[in-house]
Structure 1
Amino acid sequence: MDDQTIFNKIREALERAPRNHYTLELHLQMLKYADDLNHITAKEFCEGVRIRESLGTEFSKMRNLTPRLKAAGLVTDLI
């Protein structure tokens, strides 16, 4: 799946998320697509998803956390 398709899917998920679950949904989407987006910067992620650049730190955290969660049994395809 190409980056733009992923960005669109993340934007759609964020639009559907209840207002008080926006950040939670953002984190889940970051975990879900971390492997597919491991070649982009946090800034590129924020630009692609059209979110505040300050959320790039969260993208970096989730991308770094993903291998540990997967080693513990997380299946990102099920998110």
Structure 2
Amino acid sequence: MNDKIFFRIKEALEQAPRNQRMAELQIQCLKYADDLPSITAREFCETLNLKPSYGTEFSKMRNLTSRLKSAGLDVTKL
């Protein structure tokens, strides 16, 4: 299952305009945070061939997901 998720994330990042890739990464992290609970930020970056510094964004978005969902965010619409 994780392979499919990572494929979708990678595809979304590749299709995003260059100046929108960070925003797309953040959206994808929010979208799939609940599906990747045991993945570390390091594993996330290594799997997607991202710089290790992007792990911070992954961690931030994972931490925000529960708060945003309780405020009404529907991640299926992302």
Query: Structure 1 length as normaliser, TM-score?
Result: 0.95
Q: What runs of 5+ residues in structure 1 fail to find an aligned partner?
A: none
Deviation at 1:38, TM superposition (A): 1.1
Which residue matches 1:10?
9
What does residue 34 of structure 1 align with? 33
Q: Which residue of 2 aligns with 1:73?
A: 72
Stretches of structure 2 lacking an aligned partner (at least 5 in a row): none
SS of residue paired to 1:38: coil
Percent same amino acid at aligned positions? 59
- Deviations for 1:21-73, whole angstroms, at most 9, x for unmatched residues? 01000000000000001111000111111211111011000000000000000
Q: Tell me the distance in 1 between the aligned counterparts of 2:25 and 2:34.
A: 15
What is the identity, as a one-letter code, of the residue corresponding to 2:12?
Answer: A
The aligned counterpart of 2:42 is: 43
SS state at 1:25 partner = helix
- 2:48 & 2:30 partners in 1: Cα distance? 14
Matched length? 78
Q: Counterparts of 1:16 and 1:59 in 2: how far apart (Å)?
A: 19
Q: Any runs of at least 4 consecutive aligned residues in structure 1 with deviations exceeding 6 A, and if so which?
A: none
